[in-house]
Chains A and B, each alone.
Chain A
């Protein structure tokens, strides 16, 4: 669990200010009691006609969802700003075009008034189409602003009926637009196609997919997801790596996020002073279907192009992320003249993922980069600790040496006494 720490913060305040500067429209109210970093959750509920089906614990899917929502609203932590959006709630007709625009904000994202939210949920009745893609876009808009974690929980009982807009690609674009937005999906009594679609949406944003067959499962899962949103998490800073080291952005210690397309290289620069150690790790997430074998490499290269050290990893099969890291301790400089001259270390991130057939290659794969510049390690002269030994062979060798030394010393002193006596 990520714990909280009290701190005042050179770097962190700067980081927070940067993030706020990017994420907030100018003039956003900063002093509000809710704070800008309040976690936001948007529950998106499918209210399409199919929710009438009576197959969850003997009641309709809609009734199960309502019951679960009531319990979730009671258990929502204070600090979480919760909103509810519906899809397919208003238009009962057959016009596909109108039906596919049918998404509405039932309860706005903000400080939660439990009674009001419950009343709003109670009015819902299963009605129309299942426009998942448009609903996700609108839900992402609802969560605009603030720098806290943002999460969409999509509860649906059927696949999207509004092709050609693929909700899975919509999700990937939403994730690529902003940082820290996760979509979790829950499928009520799922079938194969729907399971595939919902898990694709979740995968695209680093979320989770859950199949639900019972009301209790639904309540527990939504509660868990809302609680998860309340956990404080480090927000990465968006950065854009360059195609070559010369143009690369210079990074300080921190957590960064970027996008890297298939087969693309991303370069970053870090200044490492003598006596410091650079630690960098990179994760490239597979947010779509990729071919079986893949890998990620992170190389530290000098400005003149010599490779210093590399971290690489390969894998195969199902995965969410591939990561690699490296460590580069820069030795203390012996030469007084270039003391305190930081060396520019170029970091190159490469991946060997390849998109499975029929999968879009843009936007790039999400990339997460951690950079830490810390004090360098102690030097090592010997493999053993301080040159000390251990084990029975050591004891034996010492005893024999000691014994031989004693015998030798004894003979020498006897010989000396004999010489003294004869004189």
Chain B
């Protein structure tokens, strides 16, 4: 029968479209960490001691640092729109120590503390425990938000790792820390209209202005607050998998329209029309 043929055709086209959709949608297809296995030699081997001196680490790299108990360790990493970063820190504690509470805090490019959705942000290590593992999963980074909202925005993120509760006898004992930032790509579900002109990178107004007027003669190396950027640059914000969803939706609607139309027409020419009319 004609109707069943049409509906099965619709089903087939729909299925094909969905395959395309699934392939094109990073959210559906790629739930793995977005950063490559770039555990290169350029991962930092020390941490900073303040926002200003934070060691820059890329997502997917494992940063290491040796420090003393009581130090405040700072790292910074880039996070782009649509990502949901997870910070994982492991602290190897000294051989003998009292129980100590460790904490990881994440701050955005405005140095506002960002809340953790999940993860053990604060953990108390039992006496003489060899290590303590902390993690913090941020909210999804949005491309735009109201200035009054505290939403995570694309830009530099700071991680502060420290002990918040310790016996004073443990102060200064050597510890080593490992930090790894990975993020899940949330994709179009988190896409918003609007974007920032510049990512939330501290000092970008100064560095941006300097780059614009770059002068080859000058050979000064100048420190910048944050020179961080994702491997593939900051996203422009116009692409999201919503284009695919909406496009496929339009195609399916058109097919459904054809199907509905042919349903009312019956098979072929109207039977009552005489041949040659």
Residues of A within 8 A of B (CB): 1-12, 16, 187, 190, 192, 195-196, 198-199, 206-211, 217, 220-221, 224, 227-228, 231-236, 253-255, 277, 279-283, 309, 311, 313, 317-321, 323-329, 368, 370-391, 394-395, 398-411, 413-414, 417
Task: Return 25 A-B CB contacts under 8 Å, by A number.
Answer: A4-B223, A11-B206, A196-B168, A199-B172, A206-B50, A208-B49, A211-B174, A231-B53, A234-B223, A255-B203, A279-B109, A309-B147, A323-B113, A327-B200, A374-B198, A375-B197, A378-B197, A383-B193, A384-B193, A384-B242, A389-B249, A394-B245, A402-B256, A409-B257, A409-B261
CB neighbours of A405 from chain B (8 A): 253, 257, 260
- Chain A residue with minimal CB distance to B209? A11
- Chain A residue with minimal CB distance to B215? A8
Within 8 A of A (CB), among B222-277: 222-225, 227, 237-238, 240-243, 245-246, 248-250, 252-265, 270
CB neighbours of B213 from chain A (8 A): 8-10
* Given A7-B218, A281-B110, A311-B112, A318 contacting B162 (CB threshold 8 A): yes
CB neighbours of A381 from chain B (8 A): 193-194
CB neighbours of B56 from chain A (8 A): 1-3
Q: How far is the CA of A388 from the CA of B113 in the complex (A)?
A: 31
CB neighbours of B264 from chain A (8 A): 406-407, 410-411, 413-414
- The reply to whether B259 and A403 contact each other, CB–CB distance below 8 Å, is yes
A211, A234, A371, A377: the one contacting B68 at CB < 8 Å is A211
Question: Does B164 reach chain A (CB closer than 8 Å)?
Answer: yes
- The reply to whether B203 and A372 contact each other, CB–CB distance below 8 Å, is yes
Q: How far is the CA of A228 from the CA of B44 in the complex (A)?
A: 12
Question: Does B41 reach chain A (CB closer than 8 Å)?
Answer: no
- The reply to whether A380 and B192 contact each other, CB–CB distance below 8 Å, is yes
- The reply to whether A281 and B172 contact each other, CB–CB distance below 8 Å, is no
Question: Does B2 reach chain A (CB closer than 8 Å)?
Answer: no
Most buried by B among A254, A377, A387, A409: A377
- The reply to whether B193 and A380 contact each other, CB–CB distance below 8 Å, is yes
Closest Cβ of chain A to B88, distance in Å, is 20
CB neighbours of B257 from chain A (8 A): 402-403, 405-406, 409
* Given A9-B210, A10-B210, A405-B260, A385 contacting B218 (CB threshold 8 A): no
Chain B: interface size category = 35 or more
Mostly, the A contact residues are mixed
A5, A209, A373, A417: the one contacting B224 at CB < 8 Å is A5
Closest Cβ of chain A to B134, distance in Å, is 16
Q: How far is the CA of A158 from the CA of B52 in the complex (A)?
A: 32
- The reply to whether B68 and A398 contact each other, CB–CB distance below 8 Å, is no
- The reply to whether A224 and B240 contact each other, CB–CB distance below 8 Å, is no
- The reply to whether B221 and A385 contact each other, CB–CB distance below 8 Å, is no
Residues of B within 8 A of A (CB): 44, 46, 48-53, 55-56, 66-68, 70-72, 107-113, 143-144, 147-148, 162-165, 168-169, 171-174, 188-189, 191-198, 200, 202-211, 213-215, 217-225, 227, 237-238, 240-243, 245-246, 248-250, 252-265, 270
* Given A5-B221, A234-B225, A410 contacting B265 (CB threshold 8 A): yes
CB neighbours of A227 from chain B (8 A): 46
Q: How far is the CA of A355 from the CA of B70 in the complex (A)?
A: 20
CB neighbours of B68 from chain A (8 A): 208-211, 221
CB neighbours of B173 from chain A (8 A): 211
Most buried by B among A9, A192, A198, A404: A9
- The reply to whether B194 and A379 contact each other, CB–CB distance below 8 Å, is yes
A198, A329, A390: the one contacting B242 at CB < 8 Å is A390
Known: A195-B168, A370-B203. 19 other contacts (CB 8 A): A2-B56, A2-B225, A5-B222, A7-B215, A11-B206, A192-B168, A211-B173, A228-B49, A279-B109, A280-B110, A324-B110, A370-B225, A375-B198, A377-B195, A385-B191, A388-B245, A398-B252, A405-B257, A409-B257
CB neighbours of A386 from chain B (8 A): 193, 238, 242
Q: How far is the CA of A227 from the CA of B72 in the complex (A)?
A: 18
B144, B220, B270: the one contacting A378 at CB < 8 Å is B144
- The reply to whether B46 and A313 contact each other, CB–CB distance below 8 Å, is no
- The reply to whether A372 and B260 contact each other, CB–CB distance below 8 Å, is no
- Chain B residue with minimal CB distance to A409? B261
CB neighbours of A394 from chain B (8 A): 245-246, 249
- The reply to whether A401 and B53 contact each other, CB–CB distance below 8 Å, is no
Most buried by A among B55, B173, B203: B203
- The reply to whether B174 and A377 contact each other, CB–CB distance below 8 Å, is no
CB neighbours of B196 from chain A (8 A): 277, 377-378
- The reply to whether A317 and B256 contact each other, CB–CB distance below 8 Å, is no
Q: How far is the CA of A217 from the CA of B220 in the complex (A)?
A: 35
* Given A1-B44, A5-B221, A417 contacting B242 (CB threshold 8 A): no
* Given A1-B44, A403-B257, A9 contacting B220 (CB threshold 8 A): yes
A217, A313, A319, A376: the one contacting B174 at CB < 8 Å is A217
6 smallest CB-CB distances across A and B, nearest first, come from: A406-B260, A325-B110, A410-B264, A402-B253, A380-B194, A8-B215
- Chain B residue with minimal CB distance to A415? B264
CB neighbours of A417 from chain B (8 A): 270
* Given A196-B168, A377-B194, A407-B264, A11 contacting B210 (CB threshold 8 A): yes
- The reply to whether B111 and A323 contact each other, CB–CB distance below 8 Å, is yes
